[in-house]
A and B are shown apart, each in its own frame.
Chain A
Amino acid sequence: EAQVTQNPRYLITVTGKKLTVTCSQNMNHEYMSWYRQDPGLGLRQIYYSMNVEVTDKGDVPEGYKVSRKEKRNFPLILESPSPNQTSLYFCASMLTLSHTEAFFGQGTRLTVV
């Protein structure tokens, strides 16, 4: 089944403790991206990747890192999480940028205390 898989689904952590949210897709998609969703602010793009080893900042990249060493994986790294990064995170992928349908993961609800 074609899907985007995020892990973990839920995470509670403490300020400053490094964490990684994994994202994997099995559709051989070139394009992957991360969004965060906050009440009243909608979904905002954090980082995106157009292909292996090609990443770029979205609208709200501060406090996040990403890597794209292989096509299927696009982990989101929070080196020193802070409470303002408490949010619902979504990973998405598209076959290529000229394609139309984005596939989203199930979401990761992160709480930083």
Chain B
Amino acid sequence: DAKTTQPTSMDCAEGRAANLPCNHSTISGNEYVYWYRQIHSQGPQYIIHGLKNNETNEMASLIITEDRKSSTLILPHATLRDTAVYYCIVRVALAGGTSYGKLTFGQGTILTVHP
């Protein structure tokens, strides 16, 4: 699975958009970009995923660059409850290969939302 690079920490004011970047310059054509978050030692929670098109759900938006070498997770109106560690992961989502079931978590970005 391709490696990802994220900033160690970011701050955001409550009510503002939080834009979390992720670099995955070695991503392969069949690898998806996933985002998870972990709130204070709870189990990681799935947020969103995408292949090459931008995606939006009730939690967030995912913007993937045209060359797929980087992406940005956007929390449109951050709240205090969004304070968490955010993980960007790339992996193959289709069967085949020994690593396709594993989620490789890096260190993630610690997002702190302040009042």
* Distance in angstroms between the alpha carbons of A31 and B93 in the assembled complex: 13
Closest to A43 in B: B105
Q: Shortest beta-carbon distance, B89 to chain A, in Å?
A: 10
Interface-located stretch among A14-22, A68-76, A102-110 = A102-110
* Contact of B43 with A48 in the complex, beta carbons under 8 Å: no
Closest to B34 in A: A100
* Contact of B102 with A45 in the complex, beta carbons under 8 Å: yes
| With A106-B43, A107-B42 as contacts: A99 and B93 at CB distance below 8 Å | yes
Interface string of A27-44 (1 = CB under 8 A from B): 000010101000000110
Q: Shortest beta-carbon distance, B85 to chain A, in Å?
A: 10
Complex partner residue of A104 from B43, B100, B107, CB under 8 angstroms = B43
* Contact of B32 with A100 in the complex, beta carbons under 8 Å: yes
* Contact of B46 with A101 in the complex, beta carbons under 8 Å: yes
The interface residues of chain A, by DSSP majority, are classed as: strand
* Contact of B45 with A31 in the complex, beta carbons under 8 Å: no
* Contact of A107 with B102 in the complex, beta carbons under 8 Å: no
* Contact of B100 with A42 in the complex, beta carbons under 8 Å: no
* Distance in angstroms between the alpha carbons of A62 and B107 in the assembled complex: 23
Complex interface: chain B residues within 8 A of A109 (CB): 41
Q: Within 8 Å of chain B (Cβ to Cβ): is A78?
A: no
* Distance in angstroms between the alpha carbons of A107 and B38 in the assembled complex: 11
Closest to A44 in B: B105
Instruction: Report B24-38 residues with CB < 8 Å from chain A CB.
Output: 32, 34, 36
* Contact of A42 with B101 in the complex, beta carbons under 8 Å: no
Complex interface: chain A residues within 8 A of B94 (CB): 98
Complex partner residue of A98 from B36, B46, B93, B102, CB under 8 angstroms = B93
Q: Within 8 Å of chain A (Cβ to Cβ): is B68?
A: no
Complex partner residue of A100 from B45, B93, B106, CB under 8 angstroms = B93
* Contact of A100 with B49 in the complex, beta carbons under 8 Å: yes
* Contact of B106 with A42 in the complex, beta carbons under 8 Å: yes
Complex interface: chain A residues within 8 A of B46 (CB): 100-103
Complex interface: chain A residues within 8 A of B107 (CB): 42
* Contact of B43 with A97 in the complex, beta carbons under 8 Å: no
Binding site for B on A (CB under 8 A): 4, 31, 33, 35, 42-43, 45, 48, 50, 58-59, 88, 90, 92, 94, 96-107, 109
